Amino acid sequence: MAKGSVGVATKKRVHVYYSGRVQGVGFRLTAEEVAEAMRIVGWVKNLNDGRVELVAEAKESKLLSFLEQVRTGPMKNFISDEDIKWSPAQDCFQDFDIRYY
């Protein structure tokens, strides 16, 4: 590994589908606020089937903390299931957004 890429190797992408009563309860706004406070990039959006989809990138340890805050924070009673997939970061985000499409 090159000297300049030391931190890059530890960046990850997490892709999560949340199920439960996760739409219309401030879930996306909460996820956005937590992500921005932690300097995590990505996006969150509602799906037509009632789930919420979230994609985020940062160091793995930071993403684990982010997921824990989402899971145990004000939205904890609305989440019935999480489908989590990990992959290498693609470094294609500048910030964290709520998507409407």
Catalytically active residues are 28, 46
* Burial of residue 87 (number of CB atoms within 10 Å: 0-12, 13-18, 19+): exposed
For residues 5 and 39, the answer to whether their CB atoms sit within 8 Å is no
> Can you tell me whether residue 44 is helix, strand or coil?
strand
Those residues with Cβ within 8 angstroms of residue 9's Cβ, 6 or more apart along the chain or in another chain: 1
